Structure formats: C-alpha cells, structure tokens
Amino acid sequence: MSKFSIFKKILFGILILLSLAFTLILHTIFFKPITLGLFYEKIFWESILEDPEYLTSLGILNRFRIGGYQKKLTDISIEKQEQDLKKAKKDLEILLSYGKENLSGQELLSFEILEWSLRLKISGERFLFHDYPANQLFGVQSQLPTFLATQHPVTSSQDVEDYIARLEAIPKKIDQLIEGILFRDKNGILPPDFILDRLISEVKGFVAVPAKKNLLYTTFEKKIKKIDSVSVDFQNRSLERVKQSIESKVYPAYSKLLILFLKQKEHADSRAGVWKLPDGDLYYIHELKKHTTTELTPEEIHNIGLSEVSRIQNEMKIILKKVGKNMPIPIAMSELRKDPKFLFPDTEEGKLHALEEYKKILKDSEEKLNPYFLECRKVRLK
C-alpha cells in the first residue's frame, strides 16, 4: 500500500471523527443531549453564555472573545426573565425524561440538586417580580459600575474598545432596570422609604462628581496606563472617549433613574417586611425554602432560633459562673471586656498569642465541619 493511500485513509478517518464530533455538538445544542452529563454541560454553558457580565467575572473565555460578549451587558429585561422561567420548565421536562432509577451516589445527588433548583424556580413563578432590583445592598445601580471598575479586564487595545462599548450600553441596561421597577410598582412591589432614601443619596453622589473623578474613569485610567502595547496618544484618546461616554451616556441614564426614585418616594412608606407585598406571606415561605433548602414553616424556623439562643445563653451562663461573673449576660460581657485577665496584652507577644488561639479555633472548626459535608475543601483556612 502506497504512502498516499495510507495518508488518504488517515485523513478520511480524521474527517469521520470530526464529523461525528460536530454532529454530537449540534445534537447537544439543539436537541436532547445523548447523556445526562452532556445535559448538565448544556445547562451550564447556556446559563453563562447568556450572562456576559458573569462570563467576564469567571474569566474562563476572556482571551478567546467568543461572540463578542466582552462588549455586552447582561440582559435584565422583563422578557428575558420570563424566557428564563420558560427555559427552566423545559429543562425540568428534559431532566425528568432521563429518569433517576439507575442513578446512585454523586450522580443521583447531582440529579436531585438540579431537579430541586428547577422546581423551586418554577414554583416561584408568581413571585418572579417580587424583588427590588435596585436596592441599597446589591442593586443593579451599584453593581454595574463596580463590575466595570473591578471585573472588566483592560490589558489590550481591544479590552479598551470593549470597555467603552459597555459604557455606551449602560443607558439600555438602566432603561431595562427602570422598566422592571415600574412594572413592579404597578403591581404593588415598592421598596420602603428608607431604601429609596439610600438609593437617592447614592445616585445623587454618583452623578455629582466630574466625569474624571468618577469610579468608571479613575479605575480605567489606572489600568490603561499599565498597558505597554499601546501608545500614549491612544491612552489619551481613550481616556477622552471614556470621559465623553460618562458625561453623555452614563450620567443621563442615572439621572433618569434618580427621577424615578424621587417619584417613588412620594408614595412609599416605612413598612419593610415582605408581608406588605401582594401574597407576601406566601412569598416569605417561598424565600425561606430557597434559603434554607427545607420544608420547615416560618414558625418552626423561628422556634429553632429561639431554642438556639436559649441554648447558647445557658452555655454562656455556665462559663461565666465559673469565672465569677454570676450576673446578667450583657453586664458580665461588659466587665470581661475591661478585665485585663481576659484580654491579650497589646504587645507583639500578645498579638502572636492571640493569633495562635485563633489558629486553634480554626483547626477545631475544620474538624467539626467535616462530618456535615460530602466533600471538604483541600485548602486550609488561614
């Protein structure tokens, strides 16, 4: 057999393998994946590929620039959230079609975790818009500039273009946020006045500073000046473009948001509990289930809390009595904080002694945590 014939057979074999691989990929993307493992992979990649900000934060595809996601911001529109819910229903249907009768161990656990997560999302359909997307802790209005300042990479000229593209996309995202807030407001989902006070103060402060002193400019300036592969002229032009984007795109968008917060404040009240929302009691039960992964009722959770507080206080009383502090806990703790006998000296030796005691506590905690987890982290606490 000639070398050419051998080469043709090898090439033909490679083409067949590539064809099969391509067919498998297409089948996985557009149809029910052949295996449960591939289905898990499909759900994972679909979820992160539809969230460009999260994809940037993960950093796993940053150097490949697939789909130009580095130029985009995550869609938070009402339509997108409704699409995600429909997708969860479809994913659950596909997951259940595999069956779990023959699964065991880690495979069964993975199946049940995904099933539980999807069922929880679907069961909360009536509460899809019961949250406050703008809030004083983790609101879109604060997370967006923080993301751009801390997560978006600026290590090349292309990164610079992507950053500016994202600044230019901020008005669209803020419009989506406003649309979502108005939709919730119309349906009785309104933050309490103290949250709105914080939001108003935050946004006023954000738009009040000159563009060159804004977080979006100052952090970008530090990063671009570290790029050796671009000229000083490119750096200066880019900084001017960022300044212009902040002034012409970002500030007007946030000013619109400020006007909305001020209008909402006019009819807000101080009630903070979710019980004030439509179906608030049922929403509370749903959120409790999501955060505790149990079927316990609010009353049962509350009683557990009371029981634990009582248990801890009784243990503290025993210890305090042993050290001669047989008195109410707040008074005893106040005295202990003033008694040098129970304090580490404010010296180098005292600090080292305190550090060693903390290490013992961490070691003890690690040993006690192991029985409660199937897999424990391998990196030690420091």
Interval 281-333: pLDDT, tens = 999 999 999 999 999 999 999 999 999 999 999 999 999 999 888 899 999 99
Q: Are residues 141 and 256 in the same domain?
A: yes
Q: Are residues 219 and 248 in the same domain?
A: yes
Structure tokens at 277: 């929302």
Residue 330 included in any domain: no
Boundary of a domain, candidates 69, 103, 123: 123
Q: Are residues 348 and 366 in the same domain?
A: yes
Q: Are residues 16 and 70 in the same domain?
A: no
Structure tokens at 107: 């495979």
Q: Are residues 351 and 289 in the same domain?
A: no
Measured at the CA of 260, the angle between CA 259 and CA 262, to 5 degrees, comes to: 65
Q: What is the pLDDT of residue 106?
A: 87
Residue 302 included in any domain: no
CB 102 within 8 A of CB 194: no
Averaged pLDDT of the chain: 90
Residue 109 included in any domain: yes
CB 238 within 8 A of CB 160: yes
Residue 139 burial (CB count, 10 A)? 18
Structure tokens at 95: 């997951």
Residue 349 included in any domain: yes
Q: Are residues 139 and 108 in the same domain?
A: no
Q: Are residues 1 and 51 in the same domain?
A: no
Q: Are residues 171 and 52 in the same domain?
A: no
Q: Are residues 163 and 194 in the same domain?
A: yes
For the chain, how far is it from start to end, CA to CA, in angstroms?
65
Range of the domain at 5: 1-29
Which amino acid is located at 125 in the chain?
E
Q: Are residues 141 and 56 in the same domain?
A: no
Below-50 pLDDT ranges, the chain: 7, 12, 15, 18-28, 30-31
Residue 312 included in any domain: no
Boundary of a domain, candidates 94, 123, 152: 123
Give the chain's domain count. 4
Boundary of a domain, candidates 97, 123, 149: 123
Q: Are residues 17 and 61 in the same domain?
A: no
Residue 326 included in any domain: no
Residue 327 included in any domain: no
Q: Are residues 150 and 220 in the same domain?
A: yes
Residue 63 included in any domain: yes
